[in-house]
Amino acid sequence: MTRPDLPARQAITFTGGTLDRADQLRVHPDRLAGAWADPRARIVHLDGLDPVIEADGTLASEPVTPGAVLADHALLGLREDGTPVFVSLLVEHSVEPPSFPAKVWDIIPQLTMAEAAHYAAARSLVDWHDRHRFCARCGGDTHPIKAGWARQCSRCSAEHFPRTDPVVIMLAEYRGKVLIGRNPRFPAGRFSALAGFVEPGETIEEAVRRELWEECGVRTGQVDYLFSQPWPFPSQLMVACIAQANDDALTLDEEEIAEAIWVSTDDVRAALAGEEGARFLPPSSIAVAHHMLRYWLESKQTDQPPAA
């Protein structure tokens, strides 16, 4: 069930991309070659998998240089004026990049909303290519096809496509409070919404209910979808939901959750405002969990009857 009353001002990081993904070019070699030869074409520059930005908040890019090979690049899409934008698939980085690179947290807020979305697509795509150089069916070498949006096995011809892993992230609500938790890897005081991967054969609603039960021992009924966020570390789709809890009793899975607390609107307001003495530290504004808490707080303020 989709909530119809989402605040219009929700500006969630990694959403709002403006590139035309130009699927019609990907399967036509002649048209793709024409885009590559366009004198306006640009190649986004990454530092490993990290973004490099210009002073105006755009991703650093460079024109196609002599000797550059189209097969080593992916077409991210076309700008509104038709300019083709590519990214190199030959990016050197560690075999296992950190899931939460601290450097990126400082860079992302400097990007415009659209450019952050373009970076998310570029990062996930480049990382996927690096991780899928061999065929899952027969073990043969694979090579990029379809403008970098697929790979094909040189031995059995199987095609493989970039994956996106759905993750439910949720707030459980009970009598005017919501449940938040602290992962053991979080710093002291930092809390966020609970989250977990959707498993095969599950609906989003079932995954929400299962994760809340497994991690905190909370049974829930109605589940409402809020919004979603691409999360390119390496390639998740965060599906934000709110669930109605049957009670507030907690039984924690201590391997997954170090602490969990029910917080009120006053608690959330103080945390988001950064007030001294706030009950918890909120998630970064880059994370969808931050927007979930802000949305919940605003929805509760809207629900309040006007003063007499």
Provide the token pair at 194.
């609970």
The Cα–Cα gap between 142 and 229 comes to: 29
pLDDT band at 161 (very low <50, low <70, confident <90, very high): very high
Tell whether the model's pLDDT for residue 308 goes beyond 90.
no
Mean pLDDT, the chain, whole residue set = 92
For 161, residues 6+ apart whose C-beta sits below 8 A from its C-beta are: 149, 150
Question: What pLDDT shows up at residue 121?
Answer: 97
Burial 123-148 (b: 16+ CB within 10 A, else e): bbbbbbbbeeeebeeeeeebebbbbb
Task: Judge contact between 46 and 123, C-beta under 8 A.
Answer: yes
Kindly report each contact of residues 66-71 with a partner whose C-beta sits within 8 Å and lies 24 or more positions away, as own/partner. 68/43, 70/32, 70/33, 70/36, 71/143, 71/144
252 pLDDT more than 90: yes
pLDDT of 307 strictly over 50: no
Residue 253 sits at the vertex; the CA angle it makes with 250 and 254, to the nearest 5 degrees, is 110
Between residues 125 and 103, the one the model is more confident about:
125
- Judged against a pLDDT cut of 80, whether residue 234 lies above it is answered with yes
Instruction: Give just the sign of the alpha carbon dihedral 219, 224, 225, 231.
Output: negative
Q: Rounded to two decimals, what is the model's pTM?
A: 0.92
Q: Is the pLDDT of residue 2 over 70?
A: no
pLDDT at 302 over 80: no
How do residues 20-31 score in pLDDT, each as one tens digit? Answer: 999 999 999 999
Contact (Cβ atoms closer than 8 angstroms) between residue 43 and residue 62 = yes
As given in the structure block, the two tokens for residue 173 are 């609500």
Enumerate residues 6+ apart whose C-beta is below 8 A from 198.
Answer: 165, 166, 167, 168, 204, 207, 239
84-88/150-153 β-pairing:
unpaired
| pLDDT tens-digit map of 167-221 | 999 999 999 999 999 999 899 999 999 999 999 999 999 999 999 999 999 999 9
What CATH number was assigned to the domain covering residues 165-303? 3.90.79.10
Q: Which of 121, 118, 125 is nearest to 57 (CA)?
A: 118
**How confident is residue 262, by pLDDT bands cut at 50, 70 and 90?**
very high
- 138 in Cβ contact with 155 (< 8 Å): yes
Task: Return residue ranges of the chain for CATH 3.90.79.10.
Answer: 165-303
At 54, the pLDDT band (50, 70, 90 cuts) reads very high
What is the CATH architecture of 23-160?
Alpha-Beta Complex (3.90)
Amino acid found at 221: G
213's CB contacts (< 8 A; 6+ apart) are: 219, 220
